[in-house]
Each structure stands twice: as C-alpha cells, then as structure tokens.
Amino acid sequence: MRIFYHPAERLSEIESRRDVLGVVAYGAAEPGRAWCGQAPYLGVALSPHGAPVCEVITGGMVKRGARHDVRYAHDGEWLFAAIAVDASGAIEAAAILAYERLLQVAGEEGYGCLIRAWQYFPAIHGVEEGLERYRQFNRGRHHALGSHLARGGIRPAATCIGTHAGHLTVYMLARRAPGVAIENPRQVAAYQYPKTYGPRPPDFVRAMKVVSEGQQWLWISGTAAIVGHESCAAGNMEAQMREAFANLDLVVASADLGEDRRVVATKVYVRGAGPLPALPGPWACAPVLVLTGDICRSELLIEIEAVVTAGV
C-alpha cells in the first residue's frame, strides 16, 4: 500500500494503473466523474494551499464495484469505499445513510473491519433543529455504528472536517481482520466525551494499527489541540499547533512501533487561509497536504492527520 499526493492536472498518469484503490480530489474536482481507472474518484470541497491535488491510495491489483450508491475497490487485503450523500437537509439522516450503506457493502465484500474513515460535509457549524450539524452528524454516526459495535466491530480512526460546499462525502479503508485501536493517554477517548459536546459522542479512535506487507501501519485520526476533553489555546494558532503535535507524538509513542519508523503522509487542516507555521521535526519530512477547512469545534484552528509506518 502507498499513499501520495499527485497534481490534479496530471491525473491521466494515474488512470492507466491497475493498483489504485481510491483517488480523492481537493480543489477543481472533475464534476460528474466517478472513476479513475479501476478506482473510485471523489471530490472534496476543501481548497488546498497550492495547486489542485489528488490524494492517491494504491495497493495490489484491484477489482472495483458499485452498489447501494457506494463505489469501492479492493485488492484482497484492503477495501477502499466511498459514498456521497446530499447534505443540504438533515445531516443526521445523511450520516445514517452513508454509514449503513458503507458498512453493508464492506461486510458483503468480506472487509467488515473498519480501519480509517474520512468525513467531509458543508456547514458543519450550522444549526439544525437546535443542534449544531457536527453534533447531529455524531448522532447519526453513533446510531449507524451501533449494530457494528454490537457485533464486535471496532470504531475506525477518523477525520471529520467542514467543507465550503458539496455533499456529505465519506470514504474509508477496511480490512478482513481487525486493527488494533490506539488511544492517547493525554486525551479522553472521543467516544467517551461528556455530553457537553453533544448528545452522542464522536465514534472514532485516535489511531488504528495494522500489520501489512511485513510492516506496521499507523493510521492516525485528525488530531487537534485537545487535552483531556477540552480545547486549548483558543484563537492561538502556534500554541494549538504545539498541542496538536504533542498529541500526535504521544499517539505514536502509545502505538509502540519501535525506533525504525517513518511518517508517510500528513494532511493539515487549517481554519481560514492564513499562513501556516512550520511543522516540527519528523513531521516535516513527509509529503504534507495543507487544506483550508472547518475543524469540528469552532475554537480549533488546526487539525493534523498522518500515516506512519515501521518495521515489524
């Protein structure tokens, strides 16, 4: 498996490959396009800092399919699946629909173990029936994941970011066997947040660890300046960045990957279009995709996700 960022204007170079699991376009997505060769193609309405870019996830030789509005590709080990649902109405219902269909298709294809989910939708701070749309989304996700968890399923690592337009877009990676959930000792588990953050908690784990192709893979969720369950340093980008990277370092340490580890790819979400302070040390070595978007708590200015690999 590989994950990399490719200029959108050179997407044709990707199209003929047979090993692409998924392509996600940020900025200038091609309207109406559903596939890039064998891979599901989807657009997310988040502007990259710089030229339009595609996140490309590759694996082995893939087979593709589409059912129940879900597009997917799998290579025997990994399933990439995506759905886009109208998000102009109730986001709780949209979340239920998206998760139920993704879970159904993943299960039917034999990849019932969720590893990583990305969730993007517009007006994340808008209010619907007296509740912020992010909190409505959490209600829907919690409802839809209920039966999965009851069957012994595990919550995936996740990212949830507000876009400036478009559908609720959810894409995920799943496997045949479960990963190992990693939490951050400095943070309350998100699925145990108190009710002050909404009637239902956000159902994700801080990171998921899997072994694949003789390597350890750590898929780290969107990570922000939250200590315990509280946001830190409201309005201060530099301080939030320090706290977020302290959390990232601690998640990596908690995953016990050993010394021989490498950051493979990082996505940084920033509120507003302001300049981004330099990333610290090892996090600056890997390709970084910077996107402007709304982090799910309005006081948070930055959120970072990453993939880290290590020898076994």
* Active-site residue set: 303
Query: 3-state DSSP call for residue 226?
Result: strand
Considering only residues 38 to 57 of the shown chain, the ones binding ligand 3EB according to CB under 6 A are none
268 in contact with ligand 3EB (CB under 6 A): no
Q: Under rule CB under 6 A, which residues in 154-173 are in contact with ligand 3EB?
A: 158-160
Give me the least distance between CB of 112 and ligand 3EB, in Å please. Answer: 20
- The crossing angle, in degrees rounded to 10, of helices 133-150 and 91-108 is 30
User: 55 - beta bridge partners?
Assistant: 5, 24
Q: What mask, x for binding ligand 3EB by CB under 6 A, covers residues 219 to 238?
A: --xx-x-x------------
SS3 233: coil
Q: Alpha helix (H) ranges present in the chain?
A: 12-15, 91-108, 133-150, 237-254
Give the shortest CB-13-to-ligand 3EB separation in angstroms: 31
**Token pair 């990171």 is at which residue?**
207
The Cα–Cα gap between 255 and 182 comes to 6
The nearest distance, CB 73 to ligand 3EB, in angstroms, is 23
Nearer to ligand 3EB, 39 or 295 (CB): 295
In 3D, which of 183, 115, 120 has the Cα closest to residue 155?
A: 115
Region 92-151 residues binding ligand 3EB, contact defined as CB under 6 A: 119
Alpha-carbon gap, residue 250 to 244, rounded angstroms: 10
Nearer to ligand 3EB, 15 or 183 (CB): 183
Give least dist CB 224 to ligand 3EB, A.
4
Q: Are 241 and 303 in contact (CB under 8 A)?
A: no
Report the interface residues with ligand 3EB, using CB under 6 A.
119, 158-160, 190, 202, 204, 221-222, 224, 226, 296
